[in-house]
Amino acid sequence: MALSLIPPLTDGPISYQAIYQPAQTGSFHNNNMAALCRGRHRWKRTNCLHVLTRNLSGIYDYDLVVIGGGSGGLACSKEAARLGQKAAVLDYVEPSVKGTKWGLGGTCVNVGCIPKKLMHQAALLGTAVKDARKYGWQISGPICHDWATMAEAIQNHVRSLNWGHRVQLQDKKVKYLNVKGSLVDEHTVRGLTKAGKEMILTAKNIVIATGGRPNYPIGIPGAKEHGITSDDIFWLKKEMVLSSTRRGSDVALECAGFLTGIGLDTTVMVRSIALRGFDQQMAGLITDYMATYGTKFLWKSVPKSVDKLSSGALQVTWTDTRTGDEHKDTYDSVLWAVGRAPETKALGLDQLGVRLKKETGKILLGSDESTSVPNIFAFGDIGEGRPELTPTAVKAGKLLARRLAGLSAELMNYDNVPTTVFTPLEYACVGLSEEDAEERHGKDGIEVYHAFYKPLEFIVAERDASQCYLKVVCARGGEQKILGLHFTGPNAGEVAQGFAMGFQCGATYSHLLQTVGIHPTCAEEVVKVNITKRSGLDPAVTGC
Amino acid sequence: MLLEMTGQKSVPNVFINKMHVGGCDKTLQAHEDGSLKQLLSGDEAYEYDLIVIGGGSGGLACSKEAAMLGKKVMVLDYVVPTPKGTTWGLGGTCVNVGCIPKKLMHQTAVLGTTLQDSRKFGWEFSETVTHNWDTMKTAVNNYIGSLNWGYRVALRDKNVNYVNAYAEFIEPHKIKATNKRGKETFHTAAKFILATGERPRYLGIPGDKEYCITSDDLFSLPHCPGKTLVIGASYVALECGGFLAGLGLDVTVMVRSILLRGFDQDMANRAGEHMEEHGVKFLRKYVPVKVRTPGRLKVTSKSTETDEVIEGEYNTVCTDPSVPGDLILVSPPPRNGKIPVNDEEQTNVPHVYAIGDILEGKWELTPVAIQAGKLLARRLYKGATLKCDYVNVPTTVFTPLEYGSCGLSEERATELYGEDHIEVYHSLFWPLEFTVPGRDNNRCYAKLICNKLDNDRVIGFHYLGPNAGEVTQGFGVAMKCGATKEQLDGTIGIHPTCAEVFTTLDVTKRSG
């Protein structure tokens, strides 16, 4: 269908319609539908108490301007448009220190969840190819991995997602502007295009969802010049990594895991503990598994400097904090995974008096995502204390849009957020860590059921399953309400999702016991778990 | 003297058949937990408290549980060889000729797809990859052997007397056990549990037993089955047909009427379509008439709708019967001869109970049998009251695209509540790991059935996609907790997974 059929929806100065491909055969119909919906909602609102605000908002270009086109920003703006609001989303990718940049969709799509899981999948497939031989598949000759093939395939998929996001915005009548947004006042946003052209947008409400970017360490010579971050690794064109050093966050472990998995010599440098904030017993199992998988760990070490040698290799100098000794080794690349920081400087928040948390630079928010300035809201990774996760941002964004449209008062519930870490042995959890449960309920107030199990598919493949483990942390009294659930093993995220829903419904240990297992799976071990930590009995699962 | 014997000063001081029960409180307690009745009925006259006939998942779980509760227990297990002479060790269908070998062979087929995918993810290896049946069969059977051994050790550790003999009732409380060498022994017990499970049945057509094999033979077949006709469309048939095709074999499935009877038909057909797209041939609405040799196995079938008769050859070249290439797999036809029980697994003979696949109208699933067996032992010997719940049983069919479900099928939900009172939410999805290899777009499917009369409670969960078993299990727990659509919407997704699709379902089937 030809593009000219799409009714113009541009009010702002820049139109991106020209570059759309005429592939969206359903667009005309969709747009009409959207227009109809919009009409209906308007009619509804003029018939309720919002007449006054509607009249007021009429003086602005938009009902809602969202700065940041990541998962949260897109969800929020699309929801607003669906509810009949006039919405615009501003997205602009500041290139990384190494010059890497990407399209619409934010961290998750471009430099986070999506490429990460796909590279993790590439690593898993490497293990599977080796397993396949044990299952009778005859593969002659050596097995090796080509970075360029993988990177290109993944990048192509990411580009198709970038494209999909733009099409969706157009279908949903959200104005998309590839400009860098900053705040002028509580109703005005200044946009700056790549070419340096300036524009002014006014809006009834402004939402900031610009997320965060990876940090570089401070005070380490050579760190910025020679090191890369997770913003760059997924977009490297050719294989450049033979080995890397970084610190023990989930990003670090995930990257180190897939790099090891595709056959690279990989080292992780950890200052204190791995996976801070997660259950530490589980963190230990994950790093133990990685160590047997081939990832090297430098524990309790801090980097001192990075120097480029004449050979092109990078020489990293570090200090072992236990002994104070200095060590040196050479690597092909160095990837920093030392936390993320929000992009607030360019937003002009200080001039408006939007309050930030000093230590983190993140925006202080109320439970309705409001900032200290009226009409300005923020959510996602940029919010202080918010989980840095795509699904929470998506959900929070949608709920915020509904509240701003005056159609709902429902607040985002940030409790019971399940999550997974795509380390070589995957880890997923929902609820409290054992440490936190113990702190809140006391050692005698909790009962921990646990099991070491062996995934069926590991057995024939003769893979080591000694870190496949699960634990269910329950309140000790009464019905034994589940406080936290932790699982390491294949497909951990898939396993945990349903349990997270059970958790949401107030699942107790007896609910687990009453549920029939699905045989033979790993997930069934969760409903079969019956050994308490207190009993001191052997938690190894035997037989079916 | 009495005080010395019993340590009890008060009266009444109750004895039954020379056994001290205690005072009033103890007696009442014994009455409540059922042990009083047992003492009064004079059970100690029997050799055992309990004899379990059948050493499969259910029988073993039940006997171990009873032994742990201090009972004297015997398990009799005996495998009658198949017409092809296949036999196996302790553990029943699941371990030997069911779940375990099936999932491992399914896994082999999955790895075959993985090998193709992996090239797209940058892995490089030899162009031609072939599959060796013998390597797989040996690996699978070695593992089964270790499980058989593990079960014997577990029974010994729990003091359950295991006898490898065939049991027959000769008196209400007495059985005759015949071992492999024909030696007969006799045993008595207060209670009996029948847990003998099921065996595949034959078609009852000329040539079936001579030339056909069943799932009892397939997993330990000494040679690769070659071009295969699978007769039947139960989950066993589709799973076997699926993995054989996944190994690169030419597979045809003959279906008399519908796929996966009893399961949601929308899902069953989608799983079938996916198999068809991946090279499995379906002969629909046909039933076999006879199977004959010499040479290739010639199967004559007739249409169930017309008079049309067709003949198919399921062998390639050889006339030598020992040469690989020909096989027909028979899945269990509609059932009969099953045992009806009440909701406490009790048969019409009060001291005889039955659990597992042998039951009429109950799930034929290992975990159900285990659950039923354990709970039965606890009710019999621990005074427990919890009964096995045969509703909301989560389960998975390991077809090439796996299918996981819990609760009601759409048909059943419509029948029970009426079309207007249920809301069906659904979505097609494309797993992230399928995107790079570019396969099976819009084949995976998620469906949720909610009861509008009851707060939009989830009454049916259906998932077609990778790792269906792993995905479905947790939702099974959620449904036990009475999950509603609202609670599901309130659950945060885990990104990027397939399971997260259930947290964002908002399109109803009604809306089109």
Interchain contact, B480 vs A502, CB within 8 Å: yes
- Interface-testing mutation among A37, A120, A125, A456, with chain B (most B C-beta atoms within 10 A): A125
Contacts of A456 in chain B (CB under 8 A): 100, 103-104, 107
Q: Which residue of A has its CA nearest to B145?
A: A543
Per-residue pLDDT, averaged over A395-406, amounts to 96
Residue A312's pLDDT is 86
* B112, B126, B393 ranked by CB distance to A516: nearest: B393
Looking at the predicted structure, is the pLDDT value of residue A47 above 50?
no
Interface contacts (A, B; CB < 8 Å): 307
Interchain contact, B500 vs A497, CB within 8 Å: yes
Residue A16's pLDDT is 33
Angle between helical axes of B410-417 and B265-277 (0-180°, round to 10)? 160
* A121, A141, A504 ranked by CB distance to B491: nearest: A504
Beta strands in B70-212 (DSSP E): 73-76, 123-124, 130-131, 160-163, 165-171, 174-179, 184-194
Lowest mean pLDDT among A399-413, B315-329, B363-377, B402-416: B315-329
Residue B451's pLDDT is 96
Residue B36's pLDDT is 65
Lowest mean pLDDT among A173-177, A245-249, A328-332, B435-439: A245-249
Per-residue pLDDT, averaged over B166-194, amounts to 93
pLDDT single digits (tens) B453-501: 999 999 999 999 999 999 999 999 999 999 999 999 989 999 999 999 9
Per-residue pLDDT, averaged over B410-414, amounts to 96
Q: Which of A353-357, B338-342, B462-466 has the highest mean pLDDT?
A: B462-466
Tokens of A219: 């005070």
Cα gap A523→A543, rounded to integer Å: 15
Residue A246's pLDDT is 53
Share of chain A above pLDDT 70, in %: 87
* B404, B432, B470 ranked by CB distance to A522: nearest: B470
Report residue A243's pLDDT band, with 50, 70 and 90 as the boundaries.
very low
- Interface-testing mutation among A516, A527, A528, with chain B (most B C-beta atoms within 10 A): A516
Contacts of B130 in chain A (CB under 8 A): 137-138
The tokens 């469906």 sit on which residue? B447
Residue A197's pLDDT is 94
Per-residue pLDDT, averaged over B169-191, amounts to 93
Interchain contact, B477 vs A499, CB within 8 Å: yes
Interchain contact, A494 vs B470, CB within 8 Å: yes
Task: Say if CB B56 and CB B93 are below 8 A apart.
Answer: yes
Looking at the predicted structure, is the pLDDT value of residue A25 above 80?
no
Tell which phi-psi region holds residue B34, choosing left (phi > 0), alpha (psi between -120 and 50) or beta: left
Total residue count of chain B as it appears in this document: 512
pLDDT single digits (tens) B270-287: 999 999 999 999 989 988
Report residue B322's pLDDT band, with 50, 70 and 90 as the boundaries.
very low
Strands A326-331 vs B130-131: parallel, antiparallel or unpaired = unpaired
Residue A5's pLDDT is 32
Looking at the predicted structure, is the pLDDT value of residue B327 above 90?
no
Interchain contact, A136 vs B122, CB within 8 Å: no
Distance from CA of B344 to the nearest CA of A (A): 16
Lowest mean pLDDT among A66-80, A399-413, B51-65, B194-208: B194-208
Nearest alpha carbon to residue B187 among B77, B90, B74: B74
Looking at the predicted structure, is the pLDDT value of residue A30 above 70?
no
Looking at the predicted structure, is the pLDDT value of residue A211 above 70?
yes
Interchain contact, B503 vs A146, CB within 8 Å: no
Report residue A34's pLDDT band, with 50, 70 and 90 as the boundaries.
very low
Residue A31's pLDDT is 40
Beta strands in A332-463 (DSSP E): 334-336, 340-342, 376-378, 419-421, 427-431, 446-452
Interchain contact, A137 vs B112, CB within 8 Å: yes
The tokens 């993944």 sit on which residue? A154
Residue B13's pLDDT is 78
Beta strands in B90-159 (DSSP E): 123-124, 130-131
Report residue A1's pLDDT band, with 50, 70 and 90 as the boundaries.
very low
Task: Say if CB A119 and CB A260 are below 8 A apart.
Answer: no
Lowest mean pLDDT among A241-245, A462-466, B98-102, B152-156: A241-245
Residue B213's pLDDT is 84
Looking at the predicted structure, is the pLDDT value of residue B258 above 50?
yes
Residue B297's pLDDT is 80
Angle between helical axes of A113-134 and B99-120 (0-180°, round to 10)? 120
Per-residue pLDDT, averaged over B189-204, amounts to 86
Interchain contact, B476 vs A147, CB within 8 Å: no
- Interface-testing mutation among B99, B116, B473, B479, with chain A (most A C-beta atoms within 10 A): B473
For the stretch A350-359, contacts whose Cβ atoms lie closer than 8 Å and that sit 24 or more positions apart, written own/partner, are A351/A183, A352/A183, A352/A185, A352/A186, A352/A376, A354/A183, A354/A378, A356/A384, A357/A384
Residue B337's pLDDT is 65
| Local structure of residue B81 (DSSP, 8 states) | P
Task: Say if CB A130 and CB A102 are below 8 A apart.
Answer: no
Report residue B313's pLDDT band, with 50, 70 and 90 as the boundaries.
low
pLDDT single digits (tens) A285-342: 999 999 999 999 999 999 999 999 999 889 999 999 999 999 999 888 899 988 888 8
Residue A248's pLDDT is 61
Tokens of A55: 């009249």
Q: Give the alpha-carbon dihedral of A68, A74, A75, A81, to 10 degrees.
A: 110
Tell which phi-psi region holds residue B269, choosing left (phi > 0), alpha (psi between -120 and 50) or beta: alpha
Task: Say if CB A162 and CB A93 are below 8 A apart.
Answer: no
Cα gap B191→B186, rounded to integer Å: 15
* A137, A515, A544 ranked by CB distance to B57: nearest: A544
Per-residue pLDDT, averaged over B395-409, amounts to 96
Residue A534's pLDDT is 94
Beta strands in B395-451 (DSSP E): 395-397, 403-407, 422-429, 444-451
Q: Which helix (H) or strand (E) holds A436?
A: helix A434-441
* B367, B484, B499 ranked by CB distance to A516: nearest: B367
Q: Which residue of A has its CA nearest to B132?
A: A136
pLDDT single digits (tens) B59-102: 999 999 999 999 999 999 999 998 888 999 999 999 999 999 99
Distance from CA of A536 to the nearest CA of B (A): 18
Interchain contact, B132 vs A136, CB within 8 Å: yes
Task: Say if CB A93 and CB A70 are below 8 A apart.
Answer: no
Q: Compute the mean pLDDT over every residue in chain B, rounded to the nearest whole number.
A: 87
Phi, psi (deg, nearest 5) at residue B254: -95, 125
pLDDT single digits (tens) A260-272: 999 988 999 998 8
ipTM of the modeled complex: 0.84
Interchain contact, B474 vs A518, CB within 8 Å: no
Interchain contact, A137 vs B130, CB within 8 Å: yes
Residue A518's pLDDT is 93
Active site residues of A: 519
Distance from CA of B284 to the nearest CA of A (A): 30
pLDDT single digits (tens) B423-449: 999 999 999 999 999 999 989 999 999
Nearest alpha carbon to residue A297 among A256, A266, A268: A268
* B117, B366, B473 ranked by CB distance to A498: nearest: B473
Looking at the predicted structure, is the pLDDT value of residue A18 above 60?
no
Distance from CA of B444 to the nearest CA of A (A): 14
Report residue A171's pLDDT band, with 50, 70 and 90 as the boundaries.
very high
Distance from CA of B411 to the nearest CA of A (A): 23
Q: Give residue B437's identity as a one-letter amino acid code.
A: P
- Interface-testing mutation among B57, B90, B385, B497, with chain A (most A C-beta atoms within 10 A): B497
Contacts of B432 in chain A (CB under 8 A): 114, 117-118, 121
Looking at the predicted structure, is the pLDDT value of residue B324 above 80?
no
Residue B33's pLDDT is 62
Active site residues of B: 495
Q: Which residue of A has its CA nearest to B103?
A: A520
Interchain contact, A494 vs B467, CB within 8 Å: yes
| Local structure of residue B356 (DSSP, 8 states) | G
Nearest alpha carbon to residue A290 among A311, A312, A323, A268: A268
Angle between helical axes of B133-157 and B99-120 (0-180°, round to 10)? 140
* B125, B480, B502 ranked by CB distance to A129: nearest: B125
Nearest alpha carbon to residue A62 among A89, A82, A92: A89
Report residue B295's pLDDT band, with 50, 70 and 90 as the boundaries.
low
Identify any residues that bridge with B303 across adjacent strands, giving them in sequence order.
Answer: B286
Share of chain A above pLDDT 90, in %: 73
- Interface-testing mutation among B491, B503, B505, with chain A (most A C-beta atoms within 10 A): B491
